[in-house]
Chains A and B, each alone.
Chain A
Amino acid sequence: MNDYKFIGKPVSRIDGLEKVTGAAIYVDDMDFGPNLLHAEVVESPHANAIIKSIDTTEAAKLPGVVKVVTGRDFPLKFGLYMKDR
């Protein structure tokens, strides 16, 4: 059999060394600075209901709110349970 460069040989993880020396940066280790925005999900209070309308005007008026996003802002529907709808 030909001598391959990788096949049949042990390969070390490319990020192995940084993980065992504490150098690896995980998301919680990142500093996003004071401009980091926080998101809050508001769920329906009803277990099974039809959305007739969502009024976000009051929420948008709250101090510090940058943007209120609803399903209307995302044009696609996907997901396991969407076929029920």
Chain B
Amino acid sequence: MKRSIEITLNGEKRAVEVEPNDTLLEVLREKMGAKGPKVGCDRGDCGTCNVLLDGMSVRSCLILAIETDGSEIVSIEGLCPDGPGPLQDVFVKNNAFQCGFCAPGITVSAMELLNNNPEPTREDVVEAISGNLCRCTGYTPIIDSILEVSKKEKSR
């Protein structure tokens, strides 16, 4: 049985019809056109579907869309609406990603970390992206980039 829910996606309030068993990831990608969150494993292992749900990073493949009625969701597309932010610039400068399939999830996880803790230690960064799998560049350039941007922000 279809239900209509209302969610604010990347700052825009939108109504969408969902089945009770639709995951948030399915609704974002198939019904709302947000292809930024990827379907990596569809079972909560890889983290590439991460979005911010009311400011908290969650796996959109493990959340039922119907539960998110009335909430605010930010996907990778809406993370920096005015062009790429400092974190994204540093990721590019350091070639932190190769195939880039994990980039949407890692960027969301890193943004959540930096929002809550602007001066993370290396351990904090490792912990924050521990739920995101990367199979190409490895984690070192990604961790280095997140630390680099946090130091840069601090000096501002």
Q: Which A residues are within 8 Å of any B CB, using their own CB?
A: 10, 12-13, 15-17, 19-26, 28-29
Contact = CB atoms under 8 A, between A and B. Distances in A.
Interface of B: 29, 35-39, 75-77, 79-80, 84, 88, 91-93, 95, 97, 100-101, 103-104, 107
The B interface, classified by DSSP as helix, strand, loop or mixed, is loop
B35 A17 contact: no
Contact of B75 (A12, A13, A22): A22
Nearest to B104: A22
Contacts, number: 55
Closest 6 CB pairs of A and B: A22-B36, A19-B100, A22-B76, A16-B92, A29-B35, A20-B88
A16 B77 contact: no
Nearest to A24: B100
Contacts of A29: 29, 35, 38
B35 A25 contact: yes
B92 A17 contact: yes
The A interface, classified by DSSP as helix, strand, loop or mixed, is loop
Contact of B88 (A13, A15, A17, A28): A17
7 contacts: A13-B95, A16-B95, A17-B88, A19-B97, A21-B76, A24-B103, A28-B39
A22 B101 contact: no
B77 A20 contact: no
A16 B36 contact: no
Contacts of A16: 91-92, 95, 97, 100
A72 B77 CA distance: 47
Contact of B92 (A12, A22, A25, A28): A12
A20 B103 contact: yes
B97 A20 contact: yes
Given A28-B38, A28-B39, A21 B101 contact: no
Contacts of B38: 26, 28-29
Contact of A21 (B35, B80, B95): B80
Name the residue in A20, A23, A24, A28 with the highest tally of chain B Cβ atoms < 10 Å from its Cβ. Answer: A20
A31 to B, nearest CB: 9
B101 A20 contact: no
A17 B36 contact: no
Given A12-B93, A15-B100, A26-B101, A20 B84 contact: yes
